[in-house]
Copies of this chain bind each other. A is one copy, B any other.
Amino acid sequence: MPRTRKSTKAASVWNEVAELKREKILQSAVDLFYQNGYLPTTMDVIAESIGATKPFVYYHYENKAELLSEIARRTLREWLAVTTHVTDQSLPPKEALSLAAQQFTMIVLNMYKLVSIYYREQLNLPKEVADEIAGMRREIDAQVRTILAEGKKTGVFEFEDLAVASQVVTGMVSFVFAWYREPSRLSKEEICAQMVSHVLRSVGATTTPS
């Protein structure tokens, strides 16, 4: 019995170390893809940048496309988690949009390199990953539209076309990746608060508490 427990513990430590190693490789890939682009970056360069061998990298990631896929998946998974979390709470539309904009912006700020890579390198995603990601995008879009439609119905929001409004809202928040750089004059919290105001206003909501 103690033997099993020990093995389990050893296995769990081993898993944790493997996870840390995978994460280190991914972070290095993010920096290199962001700085130099996906296509010119080789697995060799990724290995070198963390002082590891190429087989070590291949042991954790089958190929470069798997690294890119993980970067894109992680970005979309985080966004989808936000809209799902907001949707699950059945908040009034203005509170829902406000919370979604705040959390969505924070993700873009925290992951602006991943978001940039995702937008730049979509053509290089394997077909099945591109499809999977398109599915997540559709889900996010449907949840944003539900919030916007509800707000329009109850007269809290004012806009003409639901599809355009939804793209405007997700677009202005996503686009933060294109201008946010560290160090930043404004804190992340300040930027999020201002994005919430701009998002609410953009669909005709007042920014005073409802």
A interface, CB within 8 angstroms of B: 36-37, 39-40, 119-120, 123-124, 158-161, 163-165, 167-168, 171-172, 174-176, 178-179, 185-186, 190-191, 194-195, 197-199, 201-204, 207
B36 & A123 in contact (Cβ 8 Å cutoff): yes
B204 touches A186 (CB 8 A): no
Say yes or no: B37 contacts A159, CB within 8 Å. Answer: no
Does A168 contact B37, Cβ atoms closer than 8 Å? no
Closest residue of chain B to A120 (Cβ to Cβ) is: B120
Expressed in whole angstroms, the minimum distance between the Cβ of A139 and any Cβ of chain B is 16
8 Å CB contact of A123 from B37, B124, B167, B175: B37
Question: If A36-B123, A159-B194, A201-B201 touch, does A171 touch B168 (CB 8 Å cutoff)?
Answer: no
Given B123, B124, B186, B202, which contacts A201 in the complex, CB threshold below 8 Å? B202
Which of A36, A160, A199, A201 has the most chain B CB atoms inside 10 A of its CB? A201
Secondary structure class of chain A's binding surface, majority of residues: helix
- Give Cα distance in the complex from A174 to B119, angstroms: 14
Query: With the chains together, A194 CA to B159 CA distance in Å?
Result: 8
Chain B residues in 8 Å Cβ range of A190: 161
Check if A167 sits within 8 Å of B194, measured CB to CB. Answer: no
A123–B159 alpha-carbon span in the complex (Å): 37
Task: Enumerate 11 A-B pairs (CB-CB under 8 Å) in ascending A order.
Answer: A37-B124, A119-B178, A161-B186, A161-B190, A164-B198, A165-B198, A167-B176, A172-B172, A175-B175, A201-B201, A201-B202
Q: How far is the CA of A158 from the CA of B202 in the complex (A)?
A: 12
A-B contact sample (4 more), CB < 8 A, given A159-B197, A164-B198, A201-B202: A164-B194, A171-B178, A171-B179, A201-B201
Q: How far is the CA of A36 from the CA of B124 in the complex (A)?
A: 9
CB distance from A23 to the nearest CB of B (A): 25
A70 CB → nearest B CB, Å: 20
Contacts of A40 in B (CB 8 A): 39
* CB pair A167 B186 closer than 8 Å: no
